[in-house]
Amino acid sequence: MLRRFFWRLRHPRNRRLRGLVRLTARTVESSGRYRLTGLAGEAAFFTLTSLPPVLLGVVGTLGYLAGWLGREDTMAAVEEALVQAAGTVLSPEAIDQLLRPVLVEVLGSGRAGVISIGFLLALWSGSAALNVYIDTISVVYGLGGHRNVVRQRLMSVLVYVVGLLVSLVLLPLLAVGPSVIAGWLPEVSALVYGLYWPAVVLGSIASLSTLYMVSVPIRAPWHEHLPGAAVALVVWLAGSFGLRIYLDVSLENSPVYGALAAPMGVLLWLYVTAFAVLLGGAVNAELDTVQPSREIAIARRAAREAAE
């Protein structure tokens, strides 16, 4: 079977297949050279430390905005959406004992202390995780050190704050948007619910592509980052599915690791997420070496000459 595969690979008509195999091999080699697995662990750690305060901060702000949002069931829908998202990784016991009571308390009235303290803590650790993404993507493009360290750190903070503000808008929209539209236009409710997940997928790819675009020091057209974003989303979905199976089989039924299933599951899921994002950046970087833009090629050559 392998002999037949390599014979087909050498066939003149299979140029695209050869290109795909070559791209895969170069991406794997690049991942090892730049230690993407280790850097994904670093990003996952900083994300984990920022996750509780940022969730409490965002959720606490939504508690204050409940009246402004105009629907009494908006907060309940947001709470249920967060619980369902956490259910892909956390065990039901962890959700019922830890997550749901906190969401009920904070969403009920909002808490200013949670917003202020949580925002400051999340700003440091969350922007540190984002800085890992930006720095690693710059390095795999061969443009490491092109940005000033202070400038890059400030950019990480700015992008992180923008992400938090976008989350404040998207959480209620994703939770109650389809039901609101279906209530206004009941004749197209089936179409609205049918387009919900495709819209989420397209929005995720667009967000990842934007992250890759701002991470590269030399601007390239936004659409050139779409392949890596699509690869990152596929890897993330496959990794999350495999992780859920692993947790169900290995951890939750173990008397030793059962109590640690929730924190280990969160950390492993964040690791899968970080690795998928960095791998997508590596794919874009390898594609750029095939057909680089003029500005990136000049900057990469200058960085190589400076290193020599």
Locate 240 and state its tokens.
């999350």
CB of 212 closer than 8 Å to CB of 159: no
Q: What is the domain partition of the chain in residue ranges?
A: 34-307
Rounded CA Rg of the chain: 22
* pLDDT one digit per residue (tens) for the chain, 308 residues: 545 544 555 555 566 666 777 888 888 898 888 889 999 999 888 888 877 666 666 665 665 555 555 545 556 666 676 677 666 656 566 566 666 776 666 555 555 544 566 567 767 778 888 888 999 998 888 887 778 888 888 888 898 888 877 877 776 666 666 666 666 667 767 777 777 778 888 989 999 999 999 998 888 888 889 999 999 999 999 998 888 788 777 765 666 666 666 677 788 888 999 999 999 999 998 888 877 777 777 777 776 666 65
Spatial distance between the Cα atoms of 37 and 271, rounded to a whole number of angstroms = 9
Spatial distance between the Cα atoms of 220 and 3, rounded to a whole number of angstroms = 40
- What is each CA distance from 103 to 24, 47, 52, 296, in whole angstroms? 42, 20, 11, 46
- What is each CA distance from 47 to 36, 123, 127, in whole angstroms? 16, 11, 9
224 secondary structure, DSSP code: G
Spatial distance between the Cα atoms of 79 and 28, rounded to a whole number of angstroms = 39
253 secondary structure, DSSP code: T
